[in-house]
Copies of this chain bind each other. A is one copy, B any other.
Amino acid sequence: MKAANLRARVRAEMTEEIKQVARRHLATDGADLSLRAVARDLGMASSAVYRYFASRDELLTALIIDAYDAVGQDAEQAAAAHEDPAEKWVAIGHAVRDWALANPHQWALIYGSPVPGYQAPRDTVVPATRVIFALAETIRLGLADGRIATVPPQPAGRFGEELVAIAEQFGPDVPAHLVGAGLYGFIHLCGAVSAELFGQLNNGIDDDRRGFFEWQMRATAAFAGLS
């Protein structure tokens, strides 16, 4: 059974190697990942790859999960490195942006338009929440420390009830409007990074994009009452 473990380990290594080469292809050749090209780089027949991933989409899904985890981990580490909630908030933003600038095609994979034959399996749901959870935890900390000064406008309407439902997942006494502000901040974070990465800022802000980004992050922090 040691041999069996060996077999499983070799399989795990092979799986990881395929993902690694695929990531490299994604980074260099662009978004249209070719399974055959990956197989060629590994010196194996294209059909052999199907022993490890049932389809190209499944490979992409694996890459998506890894990407969510990678950017989520960076965000969590950045948050842990600061004491003040507002600084945590901004640090999360910079961490996400830095990761996206370093891995633009992986960013496009997770926060860009869904891939052609798009399908978001359940496996991606949990890793996808790490960044927004880091933001939410920052707000919760600020709230616990009495660091939340001003408050965003009260949500009115049915979506307010949905915010309440989300708030209850974070524990008692979390105001719905702060959940709204957290979601607002997350949306703006994704929007700002995507705008920079996808060329929406071209011929506008070309020099000090980091400064402009930080200005935006501080604005969203202030919207959540973190100053």
Contacts and interface: CB of A to CB of B under 8 A. Distances in A.
A205 interface: yes
Nearest to A177: B215
Interface in A77-112: 108-109, 111-112
Interface stretch (A7-15, A17-25, A115-123, A137-145): A115-123
A183 B201 CA distance: 9
B194 A190 contact: yes
Interface string A150-187: 00110111111011001000000000000010011001
A200 interface: yes
A205 to B, nearest CB: 5
A215 B200 CA distance: 24
A166 to B, nearest CB: 6
Given A187-B195, A190-B200, A216-B184, A206 B162 contact: yes
Nearest to A209: B159
B215 A153 contact: yes
Given A113-B108, A190-B194, A198-B111, A208 B153 contact: no
Contact of A215 (B111, B155, B166, B211): B155
A27 interface: no
A208 B163 CA distance: 10
Contacts of A113: 31, 108-109, 112-113, 198
Given A31-B113, A158-B211, A190-B195, 9 more contacts: A108-B113, A109-B113, A111-B200, A112-B198, A125-B203, A155-B212, A159-B211, A187-B188, A191-B195
Interface of A: 30-32, 108-109, 111-118, 120, 125, 128, 152-153, 155-160, 162-163, 166, 180, 183-184, 187-192, 194-195, 198-200, 202-209, 211-212, 215-216, 218-219, 222-223
